[in-house]
């Protein structure tokens, strides 16, 4: 029963996100609205983490399974993708490398800032 309640909370918030997408004419996917609403609800204490944690973990664990329909859809549209496959592949590889590099630099910067703050707090003690 606990899992049904947790899933119902997530589903309700997703439904509210769909409603926001319908009523607010911005080019933002409904799932993003739902994620933002869930984030707000969690941060504001409206929804407790414990009330969605187990089902959230389960959904993250099965996430790779959710990409299968999208992959099948790409396979069905191969005649449309074939002429642009090489540029698409180049864009995919370059953007992946850029995202990894920027993420690494940001992480290193944050770790350096935290280390600097720890050193400063030790000097004042």
Q: What is the mean pLDDT of the segment spanning 112-120?
A: 88
User: CB–CB of 56/10 below 8 Å?
Assistant: yes
Query: Cα separations (Å) of 29 from 7, 64, 114?
Result: 21, 20, 35
Kindly report the pTM of this predicted structure: 0.61
Whether 78 has a pLDDT exceeding 70, the answer reads: yes
Count of alpha carbons within 13 Å of 84, Cβ hemisphere only?
7
As a whole-number percent, the residues of the chain with pLDDT over 90 amount to 71
Give the pLDDT confidence score for residue 82 in this predicted structure. Answer: 87
Residues near 81 by Cβ (< 8 Å), separated by ≥ 6? 74, 88
């Amino acid at each position: 029963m606990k899992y049904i309640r947790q899933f119902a909370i997530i589903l309700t918030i997703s439904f509210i996100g769909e409603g926001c997408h319908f009523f607010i004419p911005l080019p933002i996917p409904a799932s993003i609205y739902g994620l933002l609403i869930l984030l707000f609800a969690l941060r504001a204490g409206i929804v407790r983490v414990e009330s969605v944690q187990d089902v959230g973990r389960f959904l993250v664990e099965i996430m790779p399974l959710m990409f299968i329909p999208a992959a099948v859809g790409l396979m069905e549209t191969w005649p449309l993708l074939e002429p642009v496959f090489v540029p698409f592949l180049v864009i995919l590889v370059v953007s992946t490398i850029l995202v990894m590099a920027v993420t690494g630099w940001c992480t290193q910067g944050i770790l350096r800032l935290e280390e600097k703050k720890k050193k400063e707090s030790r000097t004042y003690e």
